Amino acid sequence: MKPQVLLVDHQPLILSSLSYLLEDLGFRVRTEESGKAALAAVEESPPDVILLDWRMPGMTGEEVLAQLQKGHRQIPVIILTGAGDSATAVQALKHGAFDYLNKPVDIDKVQAALLTAVEAHNLRQRVMQRYREDVARYGFDTLVGADPAFCKVIEAAKRLAADPTLPTFIEGESGTGKHHLAHAIHLATADGDRPFISLRVAAYDAGCLAATLFGTDNGTAGMVSEANGGTLFIDGITALPPALQDRLVTVLGDPNVVPDGVRVIASSRMRLQLAVAEGKLSEELSYKLAGGHLLLPPLRERRDDIPLLINAFLAEFNRRDSRKVGPFSKRALSHISEYRWQGNVRELRNLVERTVILHGDGEVGLKDLPPELHNPPEDDSTQILTVHRFVTLKEMDRAYSQAVLRHVKYNKSAAARLLEVSRQRLRRKLEG
């Protein structure tokens, strides 16, 4: 389809002559003689690019540009101004114009400017489409759960997202959704064209990490500079060598590397304080990250959310594969809820995906669950309490607390009452 240009000028002669030339060059052209009419035309049918006269009676080009920046800033605007009026050109660019052209116009320059603007517009449209797809997949609305502790984390994350400069530390077991939460924070913070750069430290050899993060002497950009203006997510920050942690702190404050700033979201399975105590995380970096500290609870501590998650995953995979698998029967749901879920939400998601792929349409019963759910492995607490070997009192205390927690179906308040300790004390016992 031919690109559409909205041509706005108060002089009919310019409108007719320029529109004729542009149509001859392959553009679809709509003309308007006033700023108000131009804004109405944009609302009715947004063009690919706008050619706007700066000095018009009534609503000026400057006022039209200001309105477009509020509601249609994705549409590139090329300003038409008088020859030698450099001050106007600078002012227009400062207020969001894509480019400017001097009158009388050179049609070759007009064509070049329009083609460049249309290309930029199409690129931004593709970026915005990707952004909408990311929101549909990773936005806060896709983080399913009604557990009070989980909801508290999500609300805190939304508050952190309001400040695009605040570093964040996400703590949680493997599979709890740390990457998902980091992406949600980014999407709620940034414009659609801001980068989200993700580094999984464990996937790289130690010798490659410096070049991957900071680039090379031959000019290859690193992830830090690629994340300029957006978010750098570092998964497994405690595995990053100490020297690189110190360099990260220094580089992030260097305007030559990240002139638009970069938000760091780091994650780890280790507790923040423990990581510092064991020398896995530098104190200086921990100070920066501690202001945005989030703790994702494991799935075994939010078992009431399992049916909600299963329904969400069923809807996702049924839609993807054009299937009608489900729902899970009450017996199957009850059995699933008793499982340990060491892989947390990721493991549950994989189970539902496999079920949709392998199961016929209709209800999923207890017999349809995979063998590992019928014969779960014993956990550490069971082994400590049954195997005849010497253990420390700390290990025994933790194992006994876990056994009590399982007995009361992971109700922490009930477990704390049985053990005659506070919930805070119980949590410390479970952490060992």
Of 48, 4, 38, give the one whose Cα is nearest residue 23. Answer: 4
User: How high is the mean pLDDT of the chain?
Assistant: 89
Strand partners, 325: 362
The pLDDT tens digits of the residues spanning 317-355 come to 999 999 999 999 999 999 999 898 999 999 999 999 999
Q: Tell me, yes or no, whether 408 lies in a domain.
A: yes
CB 8 within 8 A of CB 42: no
Q: Are residues 28 and 79 in the same domain?
A: yes
Q: Are residues 351 and 412 in the same domain?
A: no
Of 138, 135, 143, give the one whose Cα is nearest residue 312. Answer: 143
Q: Tell me, yes or no, whether 386 lies in a domain.
A: yes
Q: Are residues 186 and 276 in the same domain?
A: yes
Q: How confident is the model at residue 123 (pLDDT cuts 50, 70, 90)?
A: confident
Q: Tell me, yes or no, whether 124 lies in a domain.
A: yes
Map the chain to HEC letters.
CCCEEEEECCCHHHHHHHHHHHHHCCCEEEEECCHHHHHHHHHHCCCCEEEEECCCCCCCHHHHHHHHHHHCCCCCEEEEEECCCHHHHHHHHHCCCCEEEEECCCHHHHHHHHHHHHHHHHHHHHHHHHHHHHHHHHCHHHCCCCCHHHHHHHHHHHHHHCCCCCCEEEECCCCCCHHHHHHHHHHHHCCCCCCEEEEEHHHCCHHHHHHHHHCCCCCCCCHHHHCCCCEEEEECHHHCCHHHHHHHHHHHCCCCCCCCCCEEEEEECCCHHHHHHCCCCCHHHHHHHHCCEEECCCHHHCHHHHHHHHHHHHHHHHHHHCCCEEEECHHHHHHHHHCCCCCHHHHHHHHHHHHHHHCCCEEECHHHCCHHHHCCCCCHHHHHHHCCCCCCHHHHHHHHHHHHHHHCCCCHHHHHHHHCCCHHHHHHHHHC
The pLDDT tens digits of the residues spanning 192-231 come to 668 999 999 999 988 899 999 999 888 889 999 999 989 9
* pLDDT in the model for residue 321: 94
Structural domain total, the chain: 4
* pLDDT in the model for residue 423: 83
Q: Are residues 292 and 305 in the same domain?
A: no
Lowest mean pLDDT among 225-229, 303-307, 363-367, 382-386: 382-386
CB 297 within 8 A of CB 150: yes
Report strand pairing: 49-53 vs 77-82: parallel
Of 137, 135, 182, give the one whose Cα is nearest residue 161. Answer: 182
Q: Are residues 114 and 79 in the same domain?
A: yes
Cα 68 from chain centroid? Answer: 27
Q: What is the CATH number of the domain that holds 344?
A: 1.10.8.60
Q: Are residues 257 and 346 in the same domain?
A: no
Phi, psi angle pair for 296, to nearest 5°: -85, 125
Q: What is the CATH number of the domain that holds 384?
A: 1.10.10
More confident residue, 13 or 386: 13
State yes or no: cis peptide before 327, omega within 30 of 0.
yes
Q: Are residues 189 and 78 in the same domain?
A: no
Q: How confident is the model at residue 378 (pLDDT cuts 50, 70, 90)?
A: low
Q: Tell me, yes or no, whether 137 lies in a domain.
A: no
Q: How far apart are CA 213 and CA 28, in angstroms?
A: 46
Q: Tell me, yes or no, whether 106 lies in a domain.
A: yes
Sorted by sequence, the CB contacts under 8 Å of residue 250 that are 6+ apart come out as none
Q: How confident is the model at residue 420 (pLDDT cuts 50, 70, 90)?
A: confident
Give the domain extent around 360.
Answer: 300-374
Q: Are residues 385 and 364 in the same domain?
A: no
Mean pLDDT, to the nearest integer, of 375-391? Answer: 53
Q: What is the CATH number of the domain that holds 192?
A: 3.40.50.300
Neighbours of 360 (CB within 10 A): 10
Q: How far apart are CA 119 and CA 49, in angstroms?
A: 10
Q: Which of 103, 131, 159 is the last residue of a domain?
A: 131
Using only C-alpha atoms, the chain has a radius of gyration, in whole angstroms, of 29
Q: Are residues 155 and 199 in the same domain?
A: yes
Q: Tell me, yes or no, whether 138 lies in a domain.
A: no
* pLDDT in the model for residue 388: 43
Strand order in 263-268's β-sheet? 196-200, 231-235, 263-268, 168-171, 293-295
Q: Tell me, yes or no, whether 139 lies in a domain.
A: no
Q: Which of 374, 389, 417 is the last residue of a domain?
A: 374
Q: How confident is the model at residue 387 (pLDDT cuts 50, 70, 90)?
A: very low
Q: What is the CATH number of the domain that holds 69?
A: 3.40.50.2300
Q: Are residues 214 and 172 in the same domain?
A: yes
Q: How far apart are CA 121 and CA 46, in angstroms?
A: 12
Sorted by sequence, the CB contacts under 8 Å of residue 283 that are 6+ apart come out as 276
Q: Which of 374, 396, 418 is the last residue of a domain?
A: 374
Q: Are residues 270 and 357 in the same domain?
A: no
Q: Tell me, yes or no, whether 177 lies in a domain.
A: yes
Q: Are residues 278 and 311 in the same domain?
A: no
